[in-house]
Structure 1
Amino acid sequence: MKKILAVLGIALLTSLTSCKKGNKDKVDASTETHDHEDKILPLDTTAFAGFFNQYPEYKTYSGQIRKLYRKHPHYIWHEKRGLIEFAEVIYNRVNQLDDEGLPAKVPYKNVLDDLFQDSGRGEKPNVNSELLISGMYFYWADKTMGGLPTDKSRETGWYLPRQHTDYVAYLDTLMQDPQKINGSSSKVFSQYNNLKKGLQKYRDIEKKGGWKTITLDEGQKSLKEGDTGAAVAALRARLAVEGYLKSDDKKREFDSELNDAVKKYEDSHYRTYKGVVTESIIKELNIPVADRIRTIAVNMERCRWVPTDIDKEKEYIAVNIPSYRLRYVRDGKIDLTSNVVVGKEANRTVIFSGKMSYIVFSPYWNVPPSIVEKEIKPGIAKNPNYLADHNMEYYNGKHIRQKPGGTNSLGLVKFMFPNTNNIYLHDTPAKGLFNKDDRAYSHGCVRVEKARELAIKITGKDGGWNEAKVDKAMNAGKENSYVLKKKIPVYLTYFTAWADENGNVAFFDDVYQRDASLASLLYTK
């Protein structure tokens, strides 16, 4: 392994695996400090136009490249003896984009491979090689931290605000302290790091052959404790591969140990295990590992779109649509989790963020015009007493609303974060829907199973309310509101894969069929 000499000292540094020609082992020069101001070489900026004509794929970054050299009008990646060591660090990171879940094709890779042959030592400075490395840097930064352009993410239904890093300023930071490149993933949502660990885990599984398909015997519809046979052995092997069992002992009997492993699997997917391995669970377990890897990569891309401020927020509410799950975070820790019901396919819950500003107790439900046309008017046509039977009334002459009470479609409380989509969180009298695995039933808003508990926690912290006061407001029989002293960020997100800090990944149904379109954007870039 080649030793790299740091500019201000000599250190043996962490090894990086390079994908360059010859598959040579490389050493991470990210701990060196670059101080070559005494070796500044002037740069001919008039040659930029010729470079972009010769390497048109970097025209995308022409504005950022020109900004970089307006700020530093000299060679950055070269000194008199050749390339600086940090250039090789960037080159190695570019060659490891696959570890970031990116199937990206590096522009002009052959040219870059030749440039970095033997670490580029002795490479005489020239404008093209200098700009190639700058283009490579911006390509790496954009892919790993920026992700797909905003217009492309919107095509997949994602309307959370995007944050963008100033890559010129970030390069200055790295040049001053190259070690910070090892924390470059801090520039994206923290879930990214967990999924990255999961990506490695599932790639290791794939290298070992993945997992085999579970096939039920003819006429068999499910498996349960006490059953025996080849399907039971296959289930045991499958769960062992993914780590839900410590090992596969090849037993063909569905014993308590296997039952516990299935429960663990179901718990990780926020489902209640009822003691039966159904055909739907087996179908899910039979999804190939290659598909799971692609799902992880797709969700790593979504992490690049999430504003990193969410990691700094001490209090927020996050709803993940595919997992039908709400998390209320307070003082930086999860204070409440709840099952939710989200919009059905025809009324998809929109992915966006807002600020909860007030809570409405004993709310009216102002029926949206679309529901009036599609459901209420046909109901009135069949039954003249439809409005009275459903505790509804006309207001302002032509609009219809449902009066407060236990049968109100919004339940006894709603949580408002004003937005153009008219989406909010609310209670519901239809509690039975929370017992279903598939909970995409609403008209777009989010029904919260633990709405009362959420109201108690929010008003208790914000205004010192107790349970009795919340219950009184919820059952007042007339609409009343509580205005928050401090607004709470609310994020409605869409993740079909979610990993813990150890890289254990839970996968969720792609309820709005969005993964395939995003994967096509990623894998054709």
Structure 2
Amino acid sequence: MTVFRIRTALRTTVAALAFGLAGATAGLAQDDGISVKITAYAQAVAETIGEDEGIAAFYRARGFDPIWTGSSDADRARRLALIEAFALADDHGLPRGRYDPDRLMERLAGVSGGRDRGLLEIELTRTFLQFAHDLQSGVLEPGKASSLIKRKAPRRSSEELLTLLSTQPPESVFRMLVPSSPEYTRLMQAKLRLEHRLQHGGWGPVVPTASLRPGESGNTVVALRNRLVAMGYLQPSLSATYDGRIEAAVREFQVDHGLEPDGVAGNTTMREINTAPEERLRSIMVAMERERWLNLPEGRGQRHILVNLVDYHAQIIDDDKLTFETKSVIGHQAADRQTPEFSDVMDHMVINPSWYVPRSIIVGEYLPLLRSNPYSVGHIEVVTASGQVVNRAQGFSQYSSRSFPFNMRQPPGPNNALGSVKFMFPNRYNIYLHDTPSQHLFSQPVRTYSHGCIRLDDPHDFAYALLAKQVDNPESYFHGILNTRRETRVNLEQPVPVHLIYRTAFTQAKGQVNYRPDVYNRDAAIWRALANEGVVLRAGQS
């Protein structure tokens, strides 16, 4: 149903509702008709408020006066804005069936009497709150989709949302519910464009070959050319040869998909080129849901650190602009080594850090070696709880993973697992950013090698960028401490929020949507959860 038809139909139902209420009032007893009507309405409201204290507090504070089912211009405007907003739920990738505007319009047209009006009042309130929460902070509870998504949807209170609605123009309230980040806006635009493309044939046939190279000709090159044209990477042409224009388009495509931009459509590149547009649309819709989870009331921070795990990069963002970026390595795909998603605040760095080996690594990797040879892993100290080094001559064969009483520590040095600096945002998951001696890993396209912490390719430059806010010469300051070879904590005078996110689809201010593989299969789990809630692809509709 178009917005115009909704407006016309809703105005009709508004008139019918006002007429019905007037007729119901006229039919009541002459002596106290109005009081009987109000009592029936208020009793129905009170009975159906339920356990939501926010709804109860809101209606008690206003003496149970309605915000939807009254005959005032303000009530009519709220009803109209509500149904119009529901009609746009598909644009935001929300489960439209949760709100069912057609059924609500039928209820509005058929209401009769005070009690029915009271029941409808709370039904409209609950449906509004469901929609407001879904749009503003997400359809799902993040942790239910994956145990390693350590977030809570930033839900606003029912009373806050209802008070806002009752005191502000309803159209502006519904606009305020939409996440305001540029990323959400661009993702939604990309969703609408891709849906339009799907309605007009998608990206056409897949390229029927595993790989192609510059200089080749024939029907498979034509298929590649046509698909790149449909995707927006190439201007239409009649060339049947893998020429310079196709090579440049492939190179651009590779950059947008996190691949080595060599201009050759090899196996991996061809697999990405042949990925169905419906799959890309699912990635965009999941990214929109994830963006709603980050729609924090306090914002993300004027300066903040953003780590998109599956893009293998860490960024510093100042006033919504990228000011520093470096490659990263994240946790391995094994379930016990994956990097979790969460937000916290970085408040210090440690220069010349010691590595205190996590208990899981001690008992899972090092203890079996120590039991066989007490002098193995000699670069790491075995220490007591108080930090005293243990004499290895006593052996360790008598200990099990449960009874091993010691810790393990690697002192500062050039071969330390944490390198020369670590960046701390203290959290219950023991995750932090750090240097690494294993620099060769940053040349790999898929960088899932750590035990969960995030390794940085340019940790010194990262440190300079952070320290520049508090010292005049951050490079000199940093190296002055580094050269002491002593473990030193440096507090950040202005702590910086850190957001570890996971986006297989993300946008740029200019250019195409970027896509990355779902290395932890978390987006697949989120899509299944969204589908279970009634979210559908709007592909192929006319």
Question: Which consecutive residues of structure 1, in runs of 5 or more, have no partner in the other structure?
Answer: 2-14, 30-40, 53-58
Worse-superposed segment, 148-157 or 100-109: 148-157
Contact 1:357 1:416 (C-alpha < 8 Å) held by counterparts: yes
Report the Cα offset of residue 475 of structure 1: 4.6
Which whole-Å CA distance do the structure 2 matches of 1:232 and 1:91 have between them?
49
SS of the residue aligned with 1:84? helix
2:346 matched to which residue of 1? 356
Which whole-Å CA distance do the structure 1 matches of 2:263 and 2:483 have between them?
38
Deviation digits for residues 339-385 of structure 1 (CA, Å, limit 9, x no counterpart):
11000112010111221111111211112222223333444567765
Contact 1:322 1:495 (C-alpha < 8 Å) held by counterparts: yes
2:277 matched to which residue of 1? 289
SS of the residue aligned with 2:305? strand
1:195 to 187, 205, 224: 187
Contact 1:236 1:258 (C-alpha < 8 Å) held by counterparts: yes
Q: Which amino acid aligns with 1:434?
A: F
Deviation digits for residues 314-348 of structure 1 (CA, Å, limit 9, x no counterpart):
11111111111211113542110111100011201
> Does the alignment pair 1:240 with 2:229?
yes
2:126 matched to which residue of 1? 135
Q: Which amino acid aligns with 1:126?
A: R
Q: Which amino acid aligns with 1:226?
A: G
Report the Cα offset of residue 177 of structure 1: 2.4
1:55 matched to which residue of 2? none
Contact 2:140 2:530 (C-alpha < 8 Å) held by counterparts: no
Which whole-Å CA distance do the structure 1 matches of 2:237 and 2:169 have between them?
50
1:409 matched to which residue of 2? 417
Report the Cα offset of residue 387 of structure 1: 2.8
Report 1:79-478 matches (<5 A): 79-80=70-71, 84-107=76-99, 109-115=101-107, 126-148=117-139, 150=141, 152-153=143-144, 155-175=146-166, 176-181=168-173, 183-187=175-179, 189-217=181-209, 222-245=211-234, 247-308=235-296, 311=299, 313-346=301-334, 347-380=337-370, 386-388=376-378, 391-396=379-384, 397=390, 398-478=406-486
Alpha-carbon spacing, 1:339–1:291, altered in 2? closer, same or farther (3 Å): same
Deviation digits for residues 235-256 of structure 1 (CA, Å, limit 9, x no counterpart):
22222222222x3324221122
Which whole-Å CA distance do the structure 1 matches of 2:278 and 2:102 have between them?
28
Worse-superposed segment, 279-288 or 67-76: 67-76
> Does the alignment pair 1:46 with 2:43?
yes
SS of the residue aligned with 1:486? strand
Aligned residue-pair number: 485
Which whole-Å CA distance do the structure 1 matches of 2:137 and 2:463 have between them?
36
Which whole-Å CA distance do the structure 2 matches of 1:428 and 1:415 have between them?
12
State the TM-score, normalized to the length of structure 1: 0.82
Alpha-carbon spacing, 1:499–1:18, altered in 2? closer, same or farther (3 Å): farther
Deviation digits for residues 387-442 of structure 1 (CA, Å, limit 9, x no counterpart):
34xx3222333322223222221111110111111110001111111111111110
Which whole-Å CA distance do the structure 1 matches of 2:11 and 2:200 have between them?
26
Question: Which consecutive residues of structure 2, in runs of 5 or more, have no partner in the other structure?
Answer: 15-36, 385-389, 391-405, 534-542
Contact 2:48 2:119 (C-alpha < 8 Å) held by counterparts: yes
SS of the residue aligned with 1:111? helix
Deviation digits for residues 6-33 of structure 1 (CA, Å, limit 9, x no counterpart):
xxxxxxxxx935679xx97999x9xxxx
1:34 matched to which residue of 2? none
Which whole-Å CA distance do the structure 1 matches of 2:171 and 2:290 have between them?
26
Identity percentage over the alignment?
28
Report the Cα offset of residue 292 of structure 1: 1.5
> Does the alignment pair 1:68 with 2:58?
yes
Report the Cα offset of residue 188 of structure 1: 5.9
Q: Which amino acid aligns with 1:358?
A: H
Report the Cα offset of residue 480 of structure 1: 2.0
Q: Which amino acid aligns with 1:299?
A: A
Contact 1:412 1:475 (C-alpha < 8 Å) held by counterparts: no
Deviation digits for residues 148-176 of structure 1 (CA, Å, limit 9, x no counterpart):
35375464532135422234433443442
- Larger Cα Rg: Structure 1 or Structure 2? 2
CA RMSD of aligned residues (A): 3.4
Which whole-Å CA distance do the structure 2 matches of 1:156 and 1:188 have between them?
27
SS of the residue aligned with 1:78? coil
Worse-superposed segment, 408-417 or 132-141: 132-141
Alpha-carbon spacing, 1:279–1:123, altered in 2? closer, same or farther (3 Å): farther
Alpha-carbon spacing, 1:18–1:318, altered in 2? closer, same or farther (3 Å): farther
Worse-superposed segment, 186-195 or 272-281: 186-195
Which whole-Å CA distance do the structure 1 matches of 2:318 and 2:72 have between them?
54
Contact 2:342 2:499 (C-alpha < 8 Å) held by counterparts: yes
Q: Which amino acid aligns with 2:170?
A: P
Worse-superposed segment, 392-401 or 315-324: 392-401
Which whole-Å CA distance do the structure 1 matches of 2:365 and 2:101 have between them?
59
Q: Which amino acid aligns with 2:3?
A: L
Which of the two has greater strand per residue? 1
State the TM-score, normalized to the length of structure 2: 0.80
Q: Which amino acid aligns with 1:150?
A: E
SS of the residue aligned with 1:300? helix
Which whole-Å CA distance do the structure 2 matches of 1:81 and 1:285 have between them?
56
Deviation digits for residues 208-227 of structure 1 (CA, Å, limit 9, x no counterpart):
1112343354xxx5323222
Which whole-Å CA distance do the structure 2 matches of 1:416 and 1:433 have between them?
22
Which whole-Å CA distance do the structure 1 matches of 2:252 and 2:381 have between them?
48
Q: Which amino acid aligns with 1:146?
A: S
Alpha-carbon spacing, 1:484–1:161, altered in 2? closer, same or farther (3 Å): farther
Deviation digits for residues 294-324 of structure 1 (CA, Å, limit 9, x no counterpart):
2211221112211425745211111111111
Worse-superposed segment, 410-419 or 260-269: 260-269
Q: Which amino acid aligns with 2:198?
A: E
Report the Cα offset of residue 509 of structure 1: 1.0
Report the Cα offset of residue 139 of structure 1: 2.3
Alpha-carbon spacing, 1:475–1:16, altered in 2? closer, same or farther (3 Å): farther
> Does the alignment pair 1:16 with 2:3?
yes
Q: Which amino acid aligns with 2:136?
A: M
Contact 2:347 2:495 (C-alpha < 8 Å) held by counterparts: yes
Contact 1:161 1:353 (C-alpha < 8 Å) held by counterparts: no
